Chains A and B, each alone.
Chain A
Amino acid sequence: MQTQTQIAIPAKLTVSRSAQRKLRRRTVLTAYAFVLPYLLAFLLFQLLPFLTGIALSFSEWELLEGTRKFVGLQNFIEIFGDALFWQSFVNSFYFAVLTMTGNALVALMAALALKTVLRGQTVFRIVLYLPVILSISVVGIVWGRVISNDGLLNFYISQLGIPPISFLGNAALVIPSLSFVTVWWGFGFPMLIFLAALYAIPDSLYEAARLDGAGSWALFRFVTLPLLRYALLLVVVTQFISHMQVFGQPYILTQGGPGYASYPLIMYIYQSAWRYYHMGYAAAMAALLGIFMLFVVLIQLRVLGERVEF
């Protein structure tokens, strides 16, 4: 004998409005609870200092003298007439463009090579990434020994009968040299981004292109490169922002010299604030740098950020 249990299913599942509200509130609160720790940290350690910095840029605050007064746009006006500001700005920009380009190119080449290598890929990946984990102090000390006037590189150069090259002492060479060191140090991270993006490209696209007679260059130019656009955008934007704020490399390797040839804007901001104690002036320079970076990133997003579908 079979028994059947009948369950009454209401024609329409009804939940009271208050229960709905309660559920929604709970969902929202849970979401906020997850976000709250970060939000607090963001407010305290990013937004508040950011706003304080902006406010500070309109004031003259001589740190040790304890004087602080509102000066309106005076700091900004002074900055526009400050030759050292412009020189340090150009230095930072030159360094950022060189390093961003170098990093993107080397990382892309390394990623392409790594994707092709079947045996020992993990080992290659780890070793190529290794410099990234070094601190800037270590990188600075090691490379200082390599590219100083009497360093390792000049030793080999002199073995070839070529006069030693002052990589760090020549005003024309110093920023490219610092950029080269930075590319060696930092290309591992963008390499991983490119590698992940390369693996995300469906093989079927390459097969289809090959059937259409595409060679290696055509495959790269018309399949790989367009589909790497987002990865490239990420790399270009993050690298530019990061390298526009260069400090450690010139601080350790050249102290901004010779003269001001490798003196970056962040070093000027730092020294204005903590060596010369002109907090307002330093804050105004930092604000201008922030605005400039935002502007450049918007251009980058505009140029590289077109939607790609595959």
Chain B
Amino acid sequence: MRPQAKRIHSLNAYHRKYSFWLALLMLASLLLAGCAPAAAPAPAGEATEDSAAAAPAEPTVQSEEMGTGSIVLNMWDGIGASDGEILTQLLNQCVEANPDITVKRQIMTWDVYFDKLAAAIVAGSGGPDLFILWHSVMPQYAKSGFLHPIGQIMFDEGMLPKDDYSPALLDALTIDGQIWTVPFDNYGVGVYVNLDLLEKAGIDPNQPPQNAEQWLEYARMLTLDKNGNHPNDAGFDPDNVEQWGWAVDWPRATVQPALFQWGGDIISRDDDPRALINSPESVAATQFFVDAIQKEHVAPKPAGANFNELFANNKIAMWPMGSWMYNFMNQQEGMHIAMWPYPPLGPERGATLMWSHTFGVAKSVEGEKLDAAKRIIKCLSDNSALWTEKAGMPTARLSLRAGLADKVWTLPVFDKQFQAEGVTEFASTRFSEIMGAVEPAWSAALNGDQPVQEALDQAAERINKALGR
């Protein structure tokens, strides 16, 4: 009996051992899955393709129907979340004012929006009548013959006042002398600053930096390691930074304005566009950001960083980012946040980056449907102050901005800088392919994985190949 008893004992011990390791594995799995820290609320705006890809928590397609009119307009856009609700509110107002129209709206995340739009165009049916396009991708649709020059038509018919729009913006929407879409808003990049951190560092928030050196000095003053040292202090530990002076977030928004300030760009803006991303000016501008991360240690490496959370947790002091962060900022209870213009960093000129959500109408839309589309666009444009007030996205209608300065704290800064030195992002029939080459190059350079010149040369090669097709 004894040997058997011993064997049973040994078997039990054996099973207990495995049970222990299995339980440990399970526990580790559950812990990892369940114990993630609470997230800072996602930005209400969704203007970037990147943010859409990184936060796919919402369904990729939602639909809603507004109005009961006999003329049915299919509308597609990529404006979801809280901003999407504001657009819904506006559309409801517009179908109330135009009771013969029903708007069937499909909202998609930007990352799938253009795929579906292309598929619908090729299929020749099932696509939208009215839809929103970024100004930068508009040429692709205009040149493929998919669009009415609805901007030109509405300005010519006097439905919308052309002189109420930024000339720079209308220029960006003009191809072959025609304005192809109607700008709804005119948003762009400024700097969100954490006033509490500025105060602790002894920086006057009413004195935004006036040049690159001052900007870097502020960033140094605002960067602290775990021992409270600044980057220019002896003993500063760049591997254990507790608070960053600056965030080089999405380079398309953060680095691109600096290219203009150095006299560079992504591509040339002429009849025969070529890559400028590896020009000496563009390389110098990009190098400034790379040095800030790699040498000055005043900004974290962007890859793998969650800038929303870092900012919400008082770990970033100066954050150049877009107008769409307005509601995110408003949701940060207890924080004191202000807006600065995008800083004058480069030697050539002051500049910030501007974009626009614009309305396009499919070429296939005719007759009363075309008329209905124009009425809805006019109504949305005339009431776009609500879009600014609730979403913080500056309306494209200059006259409407005047009454909003007291209501939207970011607007005065954006309005002033956009009008004085706003530069629209390039627009191209190869826009996606060009940005698909530039963004990984910036990412590789900013994260220190590739020298700036080499990364941008490779991007330029891909861009020229795309432009040469």
Residues of chain A touching chain B, judged by Cβ–Cβ distance below 8 Å, are: 62-66, 83-84, 110, 113-114, 116-120, 124, 127-128, 130-131, 137, 140-152, 155, 158, 163-164, 166-171, 174, 184, 251-252, 254-261, 263, 271, 274-277
Minimum CB–CB distance for A261 against chain B, Å: 7
Contact A83 B300 (CB under 8 A): no
Of B141, B440, B447, B449, the residue contacting A256 (CB under 8 A) is B440
Residues of chain B touching chain A, judged by Cβ–Cβ distance below 8 Å, are: 14-15, 18-19, 21-23, 25-26, 29-30, 32-33, 35-37, 39, 50, 53-57, 114-115, 118-119, 121-122, 140-141, 143-144, 146, 239-240, 300-306, 309-310, 315, 430, 432-433, 436, 440-441, 443-444, 447, 449-450, 455, 458, 462, 466, 469
Contact A150 B306 (CB under 8 A): yes
- The residue in chain A whose Cβ has the minimal distance to the Cβ of B57 is A141
A-B contact pairs, 25 of them (CB 8 A): A64-B146, A113-B21, A117-B22, A128-B25, A128-B26, A141-B55, A141-B56, A148-B305, A149-B300, A152-B37, A169-B304, A169-B305, A170-B303, A170-B304, A174-B303, A252-B53, A257-B440, A257-B447, A260-B444, A263-B440, A274-B115, A274-B118, A275-B114, A275-B115, A276-B433
Residues in chain A near residue B26, CB distance under 8 A: 124, 127-128
- The residue in chain B whose Cβ has the minimal distance to the Cβ of A145 is B36
Contact B15 A257 (CB under 8 A): no
A110 to B24 Cα, complex, angstroms: 12
Of A116, A271, A277, the residue contacting B15 (CB under 8 A) is A116
Contact B15 A66 (CB under 8 A): no
Known contacts A255-B54, A257-B440, A275-B436: does B36 contact A117 (CB below 8 Å)? no
Known contacts A255-B54, A263-B440, A274-B118: does B300 contact A152 (CB below 8 Å)? no
Contact A148 B53 (CB under 8 A): no
Contact A150 B305 (CB under 8 A): yes
Residues in chain A near residue B36, CB distance under 8 A: 142, 145-146, 151-152
Of A149, A252, A256, A261, the residue contacting B54 (CB under 8 A) is A252
Contact B15 A65 (CB under 8 A): no
Known contacts A118-B15, A276-B466: does B455 contact A259 (CB below 8 Å)? yes
Contact A184 B32 (CB under 8 A): yes
Contact A63 B304 (CB under 8 A): no
A230 to B211 Cα, complex, angstroms: 68
A144 to B36 Cα, complex, angstroms: 9
Residues in chain B near residue A118, CB distance under 8 A: 15
Residues in chain A near residue B22, CB distance under 8 A: 110, 113-114, 117, 124, 128
- The residue in chain A whose Cβ has the minimal distance to the Cβ of B300 is A149
Residues in chain A near residue B21, CB distance under 8 A: 113
Contact B304 A84 (CB under 8 A): no
Of B50, B302, B310, the residue contacting A169 (CB under 8 A) is B302
A168 to B54 Cα, complex, angstroms: 13
Of B18, B30, B143, the residue contacting A116 (CB under 8 A) is B18
Contact B443 A252 (CB under 8 A): no
Other than the given A65-B143, A146-B32, 9 more pairs (CB < 8 A) read A64-B140, A84-B462, A142-B32, A145-B37, A151-B37, A169-B302, A170-B304, A170-B447, A274-B115
Residues in chain B near residue A252, CB distance under 8 A: 53-54, 56
9 smallest beta-carbon distances between A and B, as pairs: A259-B444, A169-B303, A169-B304, A163-B239, A145-B36, A168-B304, A258-B303, A258-B447, A276-B433
Minimum CB–CB distance for A20 against chain B, Å: 52
Contact B447 A171 (CB under 8 A): yes
A146 to B32 Cα, complex, angstroms: 7
Contact B122 A149 (CB under 8 A): no
Residues in chain A near residue B144, CB distance under 8 A: 64-66
Contact B19 A166 (CB under 8 A): no
Of A145, A166, A167, A259, the residue contacting B443 (CB under 8 A) is A259
Contact B25 A276 (CB under 8 A): no
Of A116, A146, A155, the residue contacting B14 (CB under 8 A) is A116
Residues in chain A near residue B25, CB distance under 8 A: 110, 128
Contact A169 B301 (CB under 8 A): yes
A146 to B441 Cα, complex, angstroms: 26
Minimum CB–CB distance for A205 against chain B, Å: 19
Residues in chain A near residue B433, CB distance under 8 A: 275-276
Known contacts A116-B15, A145-B37, A252-B56: does B118 contact A258 (CB below 8 Å)? no
- The residue in chain B whose Cβ has the minimal distance to the Cβ of A161 is B240
Minimum CB–CB distance for B162 against chain A, Å: 28
- The residue in chain A whose Cβ has the minimal distance to the Cβ of B435 is A275
A123 to B55 Cα, complex, angstroms: 33
Known contacts A113-B18, A114-B22, A137-B56: does B447 contact A169 (CB below 8 Å)? yes
Minimum CB–CB distance for B431 against chain A, Å: 10
A163 to B239 Cα, complex, angstroms: 6
Contact B29 A131 (CB under 8 A): yes
Residues in chain A near residue B56, CB distance under 8 A: 137, 140-141, 252
Known contacts A64-B141, A152-B35, A259-B449: does B19 contact A120 (CB below 8 Å)? yes
Residue of B21, B33, B300, B444 ringed by the most chain A CB atoms within 10 A: B33
Minimum CB–CB distance for A63 against chain B, Å: 6
Contact B441 A251 (CB under 8 A): no
Minimum CB–CB distance for A47 against chain B, Å: 22
Contact A259 B441 (CB under 8 A): yes
Residues in chain B near residue A149, CB distance under 8 A: 300-301, 304-306
A63 to B141 Cα, complex, angstroms: 11
Residues in chain B near residue A140, CB distance under 8 A: 56
Known contacts A148-B306, A150-B309, A169-B302: does B15 contact A258 (CB below 8 Å)? no
Contact B303 A83 (CB under 8 A): no
Contact A119 B19 (CB under 8 A): yes
- The residue in chain B whose Cβ has the minimal distance to the Cβ of A134 is B33
